Amino acid sequence: MAPEISNVSMFFLIFFVLIPVSLSYIYALGLSKSIIWSSFRGIVQLFLIGYVLTYLFSLPPLIGISLMLAVMIAVASFHASKKGEELPYARPIIFLVIVGIALLILAMWLGFDMIDFQPDQVIPMSGMVIGNSMVAIGLALERMKSEFKESKGKIVAALALGAKPQQASTILIRKIVKAAMIPNVDGLKTIGLVQLPGMMTGLILGGVAPIEAIRYQIVISLSIFTSVSIAAMIVTIIFYRFFFNRNMQLINMEIEES
């Protein structure tokens, strides 16, 4: 079991934060205020969620899990949709995509007895899946906007030669999905070699045998990879169509980078 971290020990972490703050000031990076505010906000949010989780864990599983998943999905949908505010129905579509992925992964975990339907298991693991799906969707939307902007001439030329929107966008779709998946692909390649993943480390610190911790880490790592792949593909396949009108013409709109 890991030793309990005292409040005094936590306080001394402030000095570590002062190192990047000092470097930012010395080299005039203009990040000092952002670092301090982000650190403070992160600490407050973590403590608050700690108390919230303590309360949710005391509720019946169905109520506690449903409440927390609803909040996580709503927040994830809101932040991911910011990358595609110019696109029609971005928020509701992304919300439905994340809901579908979260339920699919949860059904797999419960159906194959990988975890129990308990808040202390479902909520942390679902949070990792939802969070990574949010990042993948944001990357896909961001890349989609830049790719359509940079490849406008090629797409118009392909349409002029008789290609349909799907045919004209095939190469872009592949590039977009690949870009959204690369971070997780690279992470899987080096998992356990360059870093010990967070879930595995937490379980080991909590006294769980390393082999058992590895089993859980494999479950969450492959679940995250699957959810990220599905999220990137579905979002790309849905939203690329909004760059074309009913006459299969590329819409002439200025797409601002978020």
- Give yes or no for a contact between 128 and 71, defined as CB atoms under 8 angstroms apart: no
For 77-117, the pLDDT digits (tens) are: 999 999 888 889 999 999 999 999 999 999 999 999 999 99
CB under 8 Å to 217, separation ≥6 — which residues?
191, 197, 199, 200, 203
Kindly list the domain boundaries of the chain, sorted by start residue.
1-58, 60-243
For 183-201, the pLDDT digits (tens) are: 888 888 877 766 667 788 8
- How large is the average pLDDT for residues 122-126? 95
For 45-85, the pLDDT digits (tens) are: 888 999 999 999 999 999 999 999 999 999 999 999 998 88
Q: What integer pLDDT is reported at residue 188 of this predicted model?
A: 81
For 127-179, the pLDDT digits (tens) are: 999 999 999 999 999 999 898 988 888 888 998 888 998 899 998 899 888 88
CA–centroid distance for 31 within its chain: 24
- Give yes or no for a contact between 126 and 69, defined as CB atoms under 8 angstroms apart: yes
